């Protein structure tokens, strides 16, 4: 059977068994996992209703392949403490992507320096990495979130898909569906197109207005 493409493998969920304990984890695809982190970074955790919080806890469990017996409850307090670090890490990648785009750099060199802090590594009780599919991190909740985030940047995920919206007055983080997507929503893409078009139309109109008096003066001298 032929192997799937990198993109198809990046969207496929994987079940991993750990033979010594008999545990199984349903690992989300790297695309699903990164999409969760981007959503989580943008959430207003202070305005969650009870149902929203339950949904968020379910999303966290799914994104981390989290097992209840690992001890830490998925609490709103820990999520609040962890969210700023997740946001900072994603913004750093998005800003490097934007810089690369502006200067025309296509290499992925900035992402070769992603690193997991030694303090976090010491807190890991168990780590399973399935090359090309994902990882499972058993640790306290904050450590599991941050280590899983860093491991999510490994291939086959393309880190260039973590971006900030290029529209004026919007810097929202988003997970691009393809490398030609530079705006978080079609509405922002259209709004930016309209703004740039209006600017161009204004420049052309100003140029025509400046040229008209010169033509009039020339005609007057000839007369």
Q: Is the pLDDT of residue 79 over 90?
A: yes
Tens of pLDDT, residues 180-207: 888 888 888 888 778 777 777 667 666 6
- What is the rounded average pLDDT of the residues 149-158? 84
Cα separation, 154 vs 178, in Å, equals: 18
Q: What is the share, in percent, of the chain residues with pLDDT greater than 90?
A: 27
Ramachandran class of 211: left when φ > 0, alpha when ψ lies in -120 to 50, beta otherwise: alpha
Cα separation, 88 vs 173, in Å, equals: 11
- What is the rounded average pLDDT of the residues 155-182? 84
When comparing pLDDT for 83 and 180, which is higher?
83
Residue 105 has a pLDDT of: 60
Locate 159 and state its tokens. Answer: 């880190």
Residue 2 has a pLDDT of: 37
Going through the chain in order, the beta strands assigned E by DSSP cover 14-18, 23-27, 126-130, 134-138, 162-164, 173-175
Cα separation, 30 vs 189, in Å, equals: 26
Q: Is the pLDDT of residue 174 over 60?
A: yes
The model's confidence at residue 99, banded by pLDDT at 50, 70 and 90, is confident
- 10 contact partners, CB below 8 Å, separation of at least 6: 29, 30, 31, 156, 157
Cα pseudo-dihedral 80, 85, 90, 95, rounded to 10: 120
**CA proximity to 72, closest of 63, 61, 62, 80:** 61
Q: Is the pLDDT of residue 91 over 50?
A: yes
Q: Is the pLDDT of residue 146 over 70?
A: yes
Q: Is the pLDDT of residue 34 over 80?
A: yes
Q: Is the pLDDT of residue 176 over 90?
A: no
> Pairing state of beta strands 14-18 and 23-27?
antiparallel
Of 6-15, 65-74, 144-153, 207-216, which gets the smallest average pLDDT? Answer: 6-15
The average confidence (pLDDT) of the chain is 78
**Global confidence as pTM:** 0.72
Tens of pLDDT, residues 4-28: 344 444 455 555 554 444 556 688 8
């Amino acid at each position: 059977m032929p192997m799937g493409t990198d993109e198809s493998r990046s969207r496929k969920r994987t079940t991993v068994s750990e033979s010594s304990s008999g545990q199984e984890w349903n690992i989300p695809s790297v695309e699903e996992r990164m999409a969760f982190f981007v959503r989580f970074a943008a959430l207003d955790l202070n305005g969650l209703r009870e149902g929203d919080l339950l949904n968020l806890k379910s999303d966290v469990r799914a994104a981390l392949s989290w097992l209840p017996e690992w001890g830490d409850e998925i609490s709103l307090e820990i999520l609040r403490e962890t969210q700023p670090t997740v946001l900072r890490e994603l913004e750093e990648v998005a800003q490097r992507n934007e810089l690369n785009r502006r200067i025309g750099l296509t290499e992925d060199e900035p992402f070769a320096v992603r690193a997991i802090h030694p303090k976090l590594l010491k807190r890991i009780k168990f780590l399973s990495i399935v090359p090309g599919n994902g990882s499972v991190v058993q640790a306290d909740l904050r450590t599991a979130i941050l280590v899983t985030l860093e491991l999510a940047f490994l291939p086959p995920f393309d880190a260039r898909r973590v971006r900030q919206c290029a529209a004026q007055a919007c810097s929202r983080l988003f997970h691009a569906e393809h490398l030609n997507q530079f705006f978080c929503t079609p509405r922002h893409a259209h709004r930016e197109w309209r703004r740039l078009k209006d600017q161009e139309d204004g420049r052309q109109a100003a140029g025509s207005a400046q040229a008209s008096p010169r033509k009039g003066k020339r005609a007057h001298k000839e007369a």
